[in-house]
Structure 1
Amino acid sequence: MAEGILGLGSGQASALNSDLIEKLKTAERKSTVEPYETKIENITTEKEVFANIQTKVSELLETIKPFDLFVSGGVTAFEQKSATTSGDSVTFDAADVKSLNKGFTSVEVTQLAQKDVYQSNTFNAATKDTAINQGDLVINGQTFDTTNKTYEQLATEITAKTGMNAAVDQVGSDSYRLVIKSEDTGIDNKLTISGAASQALGYTTDGTVINSANHILEAKNLIAKVDGVTYDVASNSITVDGLKITANKEGTSTINVVEDTTQVETQMQNFITKYNELVALVDSEAYNADSKIADKSAIRDIVNQVKTKLFGSYGENGDKSVFNFGIELAKDGGLSLDSKKFNEAVQNDITGLKDLFLGSAENKGLGTLLKETLDEMKFSGGLLNTYETSMTSREKTLNDEKDKAEEALNKKYELLALQFSSYGAIINQMEASFSGLKMLIQQSTSGN
């Protein structure tokens, strides 16, 4: 006699368990969820590659800035100047190198500008912290009543006024002075001190006549000759033809300003190097079947826009190109520099180089236009910005779709688990019934 009827009686309910459900779910997940995960991983790699491309574009942008007519915060590669100096009576500086005149400048300092400085008679610590009570102290028409004021309080009140400062200085183990100074150097900033308190503190001898012993520095102007022209001014710093001159002491110093084109070749080579790095990186991705870059035409367009500017014609007559000045195409599609030819142009045709790279406001040159092009790539709607936005959008869409697929899969197998549970109960009931039937059959046949 058969051991089971319709497959019952063989423990079939035990086969409908969680392990089976998990195996079925895992198998289906490979075709419904994992493809999205793979695409998301590819976008992560794509973002890393694109970040490298962005870096190379930024590096190229930095190298072209010296060749931009509207260079910000500096001078172009063709406007650099260098200077040699002698003497230490003055220091030289230039806020705007463009405004510097070429040539030799001689500076002779015969007097430094200085502040007006007065000191009081000395007083001890006990006196310092008690009220002065010596009447009025008048400085440049400003009246300070010393009644019920300590020296520190008087110093604070003086400093609060424009054009003067005061401080209580310790000048010995138990010796102090109230020192009053003009805020700035020069005769126009000298101090006039008078009043009963002035006489009592020792600034004047009778309230008006200066006590020379306590007038320790007298206000003076800077007196100097710059290329023979005499300057009699309140400050120790003057600016002549864009050159800031700061006097340090009496004496003579000179400076010689010349054009400096020694860095032009280096700056051009830097540009070529960064251009070649960008081209090599883009080519390695654009023509690689395994590249994770989704829109290869977009990244090729980055280089194409650069090339359009780079290989164009410039100058007032449109007769100048990079190939006229020693920049050449290499076999690998990059650029190379003929140093000899380029430096000959630097020495003998700097105007032509300026026309090519800088141009004018009305007729922009290569460097100026290329800088604008690279800048625009990063702006909203530009190539780099658009591609980055596209990647972010694609990544979000894929994550949303993956989440939906995961949710649908989970719901499906949650329902299947409930169904398996119901089927198991039915099978168990049937198996129990079958067991009783089987026993009756066995009993009926045992007597034969």
Structure 2
Amino acid sequence: MAEGILGLGTGQSTGLSQELIDKLKAAERKGQVEPLETDLKNLGLEKEKLADIRTKFNALLDAIKPFDLFVSGGVNAFNQKAASTTGSSVVFDAPDVASLKEGVTTVDVTQLSQKDVFQSNTFTMEDLNSDTPLDAGDFTIEIGGETHTFDAPSYFGLVNRINDANIGVTASIEPTGPDSNRIVIKSDGAGTENAIKISGPASQVLGFTTDGTTENPASHTLVAKNMKATVDGVEYESSSNDITVDGVLKITAVTKGTSSINITKDTNAFVDLLDDFVAKYNDFTSSLNEELVDPQTNISDKSSLRNLLSGVKNRIMGEYGGTGEDDKKSLFMYGFQLDSKGKLSYDSGELQKAIDKDFDGLQELFIGKAESKGLGTNLKEYMDDATYDNGILHEYDDYLTDREKTLTEEKDKAVAKLDLKYSTLAQQFASYTAIITKMESSFSGLKQMIAQSTASN
């Protein structure tokens, strides 16, 4: 005889468990959620790969900027300047290197500018801290064509009144010995235009003058002077130790003597910048080529990258400058070459010949003019455009962002749908289990009655 009716009495209510629900959910998840998770993982890898390409793209963009006609700051690869100096009497500086004139500039410094400095007679700490008023009368300072008069109630009082007036001088009390102090007065600026004249009854008491008017030579420790120098035979005089010649070359005198600076065109800097450009070009193009031929790449939009690479290469292989087709210039006229893999290089000997004999031609090739832009200017504009709205890289970034958003939303919806479905199923299973358990309990009594009836017969 069969055990139970429709499974009743076999204890199968326990088969409707959470473990069974989890297995069913996991099986359905493999088909509905995991493919979306895989797509998101691959998309993340694609974004990382594109970020690597973008880094090399930006490196190339930075490397081509010195060959751009409109380079920020105006200093391009062709107007780099080198400077060599002799002597130590001056320091040279130039905020706009490109504007420096080539040639030798000679500077002969015969006098440095300096401040006006005065000192008082000495006084002790007891004098300084005494409660007895100084009672020395007025103290007058003339500077810059203006006269300023102060009372002198005490040493500190006079110093504070001078400093509070902000007249272009600074007063201080300086310890000059074990029990010796002086009032020191200095002009804030250097040069004869900041010369100081001191007078008044207090000036005599403090030792700045001999009679309130006549200067005490011992008090005048440093006399205001202008800097004097000749630059290429031209005489200069300045209240500071700085002068600017040719509108751009700043000269700072530091000591008396003769110095010179020789400004030359820095072709070594040009070669260094060119080497950097070639290296960054090869790094960028080889990276793109690897992705385009790799069947396992995570890059999904090879067409966009192929177009980007073609745009860069076309500008490398283009012709520039000149007024007619016969005047056009290309890299390959100056010793540049591309190998079978597209790697760019140049013959250093041929390039040096061009630097020595046709530097202007190289500049026309790379920089060009506003009406006839060169290779560097064209490439810089093309690469800039790729990052702007509707540009290749900008659109690729937008595509990846939108794709990630869509996949995330689809995955979240699929997960929510499964969660709802199996939450409902779990509730149904719980109800079914209660019903079956109740029926099994009733069927257990029926089984006993049947068993007793069978045994009595």
Into which bin does the TM-score normalised by the smaller protein fall?
Answer: over 0.9
Aligned to 2:70: 70
Aligned to 1:135: 137
Q: 1:193 aligns with which of 198, 208, 224?
A: 198
Q: Provide closer, same or farther for how the CA distance between residues 268 and 138 of structure 1 changes in structure 2, counting only shifts above 3 A.
A: same
Q: Provide closer, same or farther for how the CA distance between residues 197 and 360 of structure 1 changes in structure 2, counting only shifts above 3 A.
A: farther
Aligned to 1:389: 398
Aligned to 1:178: 183
For residues 250 and 310 of structure 1, the distance between their equivalents in structure 2, rounded to whole angstroms, comes to: 54
Aligned to 2:370: 361
Q: 2:358 aligns with which of 335, 349, 361?
A: 349
Asked if 1:298 corresponds to 2:304, the answer is yes
1:244-294, Cα deviation, whole Å (9 max, x unpaired): 211111111122222221232232122111111111111222232221123
Post-superposition offset of 1:160: 5.2
Higher alpha-carbon deviation: 363-372 or 113-122 = 363-372
In structure 1, the residue corresponding to 2:250 is in which secondary structure? Answer: strand
Asked if 1:239 corresponds to 2:239, the answer is no
Q: What is the one-letter code of the residue matched to 2:122?
A: T
For residues 253 and 193 of structure 1, the distance between their equivalents in structure 2, rounded to whole angstroms, comes to: 38
Post-superposition offset of 1:314: 1.1
Verify the 8 A CA contact 1:152 1:168 in the aligned structure 2: no
For residues 216 and 159 of structure 1, the distance between their equivalents in structure 2, rounded to whole angstroms, comes to: 24
Post-superposition offset of 1:153: 6.8
Q: What is the one-letter code of the residue matched to 1:356?
A: L
Q: TM-score, normalised by structure 1?
A: 0.94
For residues 207 and 227 of structure 1, the distance between their equivalents in structure 2, rounded to whole angstroms, comes to: 46
Q: Provide closer, same or farther for how the CA distance between residues 401 and 166 of structure 1 changes in structure 2, counting only shifts above 3 A.
A: farther
Aligned to 2:110: 110
For residues 138 and 288 of structure 1, the distance between their equivalents in structure 2, rounded to whole angstroms, comes to: 88
Verify the 8 A CA contact 2:150 2:161 in the aligned structure 1: no
For residues 96 and 189 of structure 2, the distance between their equivalents in structure 1, rounded to whole angstroms, comes to: 26
Aligned to 1:446: 455
Q: How many pairs were matched up?
A: 448
Aligned to 1:59: 59
1:130-175, Cα deviation, whole Å (9 max, x unpaired): 6654333222234353355652772474265243222222222232
User: For structure 2, which runs of at least 5 residues remain unmatched after alignment?
Assistant: none
Q: Provide closer, same or farther for how the CA distance between residues 396 and 121 of structure 1 changes in structure 2, counting only shifts above 3 A.
A: farther
Q: Provide closer, same or farther for how the CA distance between residues 118 and 380 of structure 1 changes in structure 2, counting only shifts above 3 A.
A: farther
| Aligned-pair Cα RMSD in Å | 2.1
Q: Provide closer, same or farther for how the CA distance between residues 14 and 59 of structure 1 changes in structure 2, counting only shifts above 3 A.
A: same
Q: Provide closer, same or farther for how the CA distance between residues 419 and 353 of structure 1 changes in structure 2, counting only shifts above 3 A.
A: same
Asked if 1:30 corresponds to 2:6, the answer is no
Q: TM-score, normalised by structure 2?
A: 0.92
Q: What is the one-letter code of the residue matched to 1:48?
A: E
Post-superposition offset of 1:200: 2.4
Post-superposition offset of 1:83: 2.1
Q: Provide closer, same or farther for how the CA distance between residues 281 and 430 of structure 1 changes in structure 2, counting only shifts above 3 A.
A: same
Post-superposition offset of 1:343: 1.6
Identity rate, percent: 50
User: For structure 1, which runs of at least 5 residues remain unmatched after alignment?
Assistant: none
1:364-420, Cα deviation, whole Å (9 max, x unpaired): 211122223323333444333332233223222222222221111111111000000
For residues 82 and 256 of structure 2, the distance between their equivalents in structure 1, rounded to whole angstroms, comes to: 25
Q: Provide closer, same or farther for how the CA distance between residues 345 and 164 of structure 1 changes in structure 2, counting only shifts above 3 A.
A: same
Q: Provide closer, same or farther for how the CA distance between residues 188 and 274 of structure 1 changes in structure 2, counting only shifts above 3 A.
A: same
Asked if 1:401 corresponds to 2:406, the answer is no
Asked if 1:289 corresponds to 2:287, the answer is no
Q: Provide closer, same or farther for how the CA distance between residues 125 and 27 of structure 1 changes in structure 2, counting only shifts above 3 A.
A: farther
In structure 2, the residue corresponding to 1:49 is in which secondary structure? Answer: helix
Aligned to 2:433: 424
In structure 1, the residue corresponding to 2:351 is in which secondary structure? Answer: helix
Post-superposition offset of 1:357: 0.9
For residues 337 and 254 of structure 2, the distance between their equivalents in structure 1, rounded to whole angstroms, comes to: 51
For residues 398 and 40 of structure 1, the distance between their equivalents in structure 2, rounded to whole angstroms, comes to: 7
1:313-332, Cα deviation, whole Å (9 max, x unpaired): 21132511112112211110
For residues 386 and 123 of structure 1, the distance between their equivalents in structure 2, rounded to whole angstroms, comes to: 81
For residues 132 and 301 of structure 1, the distance between their equivalents in structure 2, rounded to whole angstroms, comes to: 89
Q: What is the one-letter code of the residue matched to 1:169?
A: E
Higher alpha-carbon deviation: 381-390 or 410-419 = 381-390
Aligned to 1:154: 159
Within 5 A, what are the aligned runs for 1:325-344?
A: 325-344=334-353
For residues 73 and 175 of structure 2, the distance between their equivalents in structure 1, rounded to whole angstroms, comes to: 46
Aligned to 2:330: 321
For residues 402 and 163 of structure 1, the distance between their equivalents in structure 2, rounded to whole angstroms, comes to: 74
